[in-house]
Structure 1
Amino acid sequence: MRKYSPKDNVQAKAKYTDRFWVAPQVPREPVEDAHFAEVLQKMKTAVEVLDAYVEIGQLVIHIRPEENIDALRTLKEQCGYAMCSELSAVDYLAQDGEFEIFYQMLNLKERKRTRILTRIKEDQAIESIVPLYDMAKFAEREMYDMFGIYVNNHPYLKRIIMPDDWEGHPLRKTYPLEGDEFASWYEVDKIFGKEYRDVIGPENRDPARIDRYDTQRFARVGHEVPFGADPSLVDETETPVEYSSELLADYNKGPHKVLDKRK
């Protein structure tokens, strides 16, 4: 008889184990560096510091989103952080219902980096830092384009990568990797019209797919077909690759040497 095993709490147990390696969190260290301690002290007098620590050799400071201008002005005018090298967002909507916005600051004189972090809700806007750092003109537009985060008082807030009439924001985690239905029909509708959907078909956005019968069969070097011919009806005989006569003339001028092995 088969040995009986208790079934207690079987519904609460995970059916599958984690097959993927989960990287451990980067250790957070206390603020002991003299420069970072001075920066933190000045920041506490200007804004409310929610958290502060050192991570991978840089100071990380969490602030309230309403105080991003005051925080960055303090870093620039009192702490020597003349450069904002990067700013963007991270999508934590599914996990926390929030975006995390970060400002990567650089002090060229002291060769120190400080990262400012803040959290906003999905329907919450953030103030533009263009008056402090000109680089934010493009970076904040990209954040608006890719995540849909509105930036108040930006001088020219519009999409910078996607078309103006694009639907959705591609860097949100809810956005499909190969685009949604709107993306698959965008160029067909724009160039030919919706009435040609059945004729042309949806756009292929799989970068790994190669269709052997694409247009002139350009995907198969040496098997191209004449313009206007049906690639599926032409035989599979390989066409010899022809080189430009001018290129061959230059090559034949010489002198040339074939290397026996790579240097």
Structure 2
Amino acid sequence: MARNTSFIKIEGTLEGLTFYKQDGKNLVRSAGGVSKDRIMTDPKYKRTRENMMEFGGSASAGKGFRTAFSGVVKKLGDSRISSRLSKVMHRILDMDSGARGERPVAISDHTVQLKNFEFNVKCAFSSRFYAPFAAPVVNANRDSVTWTIPPFNPDFSVTAPEGATHFRLLLASGLVSNYEYESATKGYSPTDEEYDGKGLISYSGHIPLNSETASDTVLTVDFAIGSALPLEVTNVVAGGIIFYQELGSTFYELASDNALKVLTLA
């Protein structure tokens, strides 16, 4: 480590040297680390390249999931949802066999890994909505979903943020394909590009928090494909709650305490 005494104060890497500031001093050192070219070509880094490829495949599968829920993921997901999904997808990848660096992300074979996934770990759906309900029902073709919530008392079944006057329940259905390695592109892509990333959302009406009983709530989403989904495609079904404040005749969506959770997969 050396000290930079020049009147020109540089920060960053230049000509193999890294200039930086620490404890008020301007320091310089040799740029460390292994070059990208060496990692990508040196036989010693074969395992590193394999890990990089599979992490990339896991990230691609996670992106496919987020695309399927693009209508709600930004406002109901936390800041770490991308990295959390990548970890789940990598667990799924680890459960399959094949050549390292080319193992598939077979979501349809390991759906249990995504069951109960919370879009925001700091605001779990089960901590906001306590009313009893059965899991959403998916039809035989797996292209239509119905969620029925029996009558409930919001006062005992909902924990709302300060200022909320109403809430809506929502049913979100997203189609996510398995992902496979393609030697031609040297990367991962969805096994079924036609359906991967498609999503639908259904909302209930605005339900008053001060009502004694909320009537039956039935939410349905239907992709209307008309035939069975390919086996390589999973229908991921999530249920959630969004809070509102009524001012005059307008409902304003609140930014906090909204939640969404994967309830079933088919």
- Larger relative strand fraction: 2
- Which one has a bigger Cα radius of gyration? 1
Higher relative contact order (CA 8 A, sep 6+): 2
TM-score of the aligned structures, taking structure 2 as reference length: 0.23
